[in-house]
Structure 1
Amino acid sequence: MRNRSPSSSRRLMLRALLGAAALPAPFAAMAGFNFFTSEYTASRQELEAQIAKHFPVQKRYADIFTVSLSNPQLGLDGERNRAAITAALTISSPLLRPSTVQGIVSVSSALKYDAPARALRLDQPQAERLELQGVTGRDAERLQQIGAVVAQELLRDQPLRTFTAEELTVGRKTYEIGAITVQNDAITVELK
């Protein structure tokens, strides 16, 4: 019989107590998952990295304007349980002089879970702030309306975090996502 170190004996006992034989090998790599409290916490940095993969985005409006969003920054509002994306905005059209207007847009949104896609998504985003550079008066008002409508359309159902089937499965148990809680520096979802 081999002698085991005290630390390896403790690990074996812990695995036996927790049923860790069923746990996937890269359990330590799933640091955001806490199966003891039945929740997953995604940090702002993790979410921003996921969001950045989907940008830049653009859309034509009325076959005259092209609205583009780039360089997204994530804001989290724990009090209102909402997430916000602030992005650089570009509106281009041959009717504009100059032909491109730059600005910033902030869109606030509730969150929802899309079970078939295993994705945490923006739900009914609303433009809360839109600032344009170098445009004033009625032109600015019209462009702000166009920018707000298109930004909301571009960000509707935008995924913040997509889970793999393997991430939501431990042993024979497959977890579903429940309640979503926005904190000031992270988003926590219930695992049920």
Structure 2
Amino acid sequence: MIQTRRSLALLLAGAVSLFLAACASVMGPKVITFSEADLAHALESHGPYQKRLLEVLDVRVNKPSVHVMPEVNRLSSDLELVTTERVSGKTYAGSISVDYALRYDEPSQSIRLTQVHVNRLQINNLPSPEKTGLNRLGALVAEQLLNDVAIYRFKPGDLKNAEGYGYKPGAVTVTSRGVEVTLSPIR
């Protein structure tokens, strides 16, 4: 009788373990989702971005908007642009439109912009960008100011909690709901 109870208890424990393992595999990976508004707020909170170019031009970009492009796993942003010539002190306002991918950087525990591409550059009161070579300047601005910018840093406590459950951030994917960071099992 005691042997039968032990066997039944072991069988029940084994069944529960198999059920939990099956549930874990059915539930799949955990995902953190950031909406377009979350991303715009993250970019805004880290800005404005400022950079001196070629020691003659100060450039500042701010007020980002963010749009998802799930079909190409990228985001796009429109930003205000202000440039100031250091010699003359003249300031020009405009806008820049870029698209970019995102990646998770494990050493800094952050989500970063990568593969930044300039789609449009407009600086008010100047001839068209094609005539003045401003498209190349726009590409330089985007590369210098936006490439590899961290738009979100995980809090150490967040990652410790995830690690406690056997997960860590992995793939970063753009979907119609926003940006999804997949928490992958630690191996």
Q: TM-score, normalised by structure 1?
A: 0.72
Structure with the greater alpha carbon radius of gyration: 2
SS at 1:167 equivalent: helix
CA distance in 1 between counterparts of 2:59 and 2:39 reads 24
Q: 1:114 to 1:137 in 2, by over 3 A?
A: closer
CA distance in 2 between counterparts of 1:139 and 1:66 reads 21
Structure 1 equivalent of residue 92 of structure 2: 101
Q: 2:170 aligns with which of 171, 178, 191?
A: 178
Structure 1 equivalent of residue 82 of structure 2: 90
Structure 1 residue 37, shift from structure 2 partner: 4.6
2:78 is equivalent to residue 74 of structure 1: no
One-letter amino acid matched to 1:130: L
Structure 1 residue 170, shift from structure 2 partner: 4.4
8 Å Cα contact 2:121/2:129 also seen in 1: no
Gap runs ≥5 in structure 1: 1-17, 19-34
Q: 1:188 to 1:102 in 2, by over 3 A?
A: same
2:116 is equivalent to residue 125 of structure 1: yes
Structure 1 residue 151, shift from structure 2 partner: 2.4
Structure 1 residue 173, shift from structure 2 partner: 2.3
CA distance in 2 between counterparts of 1:161 and 1:36 reads 24
Q: 1:43 aligns with which of 26, 32, 35?
A: 35
Percent identical: 29
8 Å Cα contact 1:105/1:148 also seen in 2: no
CA distance in 1 between counterparts of 2:179 and 2:79 reads 20
Structure 1 residue 142, shift from structure 2 partner: 3.2
One-letter amino acid matched to 1:69: V
Gap runs ≥5 in structure 2: 1-19, 21-26
Q: TM-score, normalised by structure 2?
A: 0.74
Where is the helix percentage greater, Structure 1 or Structure 2? 2
One-letter amino acid matched to 1:89: L
